[in-house]
Amino acid sequence: MSSFEIIGGQKLKGEIIPQGAKNEALQVISATLLTEEKVTISNIPNIRDVNKLIDLLKDLGVSIEKTNSDEFTFKAANIDLDYMNSENFKQKAASLRGSIMILGPLLARFGKGNIPKPGGDKIGRRRLDTHFIGLQKLGANFNYNADDHFYNVSAKKLIGTYMHLDEASVTGTANLIMAAVLAKGTTTIYNAACEPYVQQL
């Protein structure tokens, strides 16, 4: 097993610029799907999962430009919704657990979205109930194809509502916030996650 040896006894000083957080980046990048206007995001970490999401959005039709070493612009003016039915989308989205967060924005803006059962880190029970139940409360309908492990979600109109989450899920809260901002009326989320990632979103 790898290890680090820390040799102390020295006074520490200096300055660092912290790298952007992966979980925050996944949320705010997904939020660019809510608008066709250009969005610029800085301090995006060069991390595999973040790069995978950027690549997935590009395949969806988002115009993406890298303007600096850690800065990108996103313009989701021409989204190809049919791409979500392709095998390429299923494979790419399934390899990234954070892909679940494109569901809320797509549902809110276009009234539909597809997502395969996400993969990602195997760190115990990480259910998606919070996402799905919350979106259903806003008016979404879900269909699950057990043969290819694929979820299809649709809604003619999302309506703001009160919801009490059974767990304070960070990604679940983020997904519901993104769906709710374009819903008609006010949405109140009780037992929402309150991490800095969510507040920044």
Q: Could you please report the per-residue DSSP string of the chain?
A: ---------S-------PPPPHHHHHHHHHHGGG-SSEEEE-S----HHHHHHHHHHHHHT-EEEE-SSS-EEEE-SS--GGGGGSHHHHHHHHT-GGGGGGHHHHHHHHSEEEEE-------S----HHHHHHHHHTT-EEEEETTTTEEEEE-S--B--EEE-SS--HHHHHHHHHHHTTSBS--EEET----HHHHH-
Catalytic residues, which ones?
121
39-67 burial: b if 16+ Cβ within 10 Å, else e: bebeebbeeebbebbbebbebbebeeeee
Q: Give dist(CA 141, CA 151) in Å, integer.
A: 10
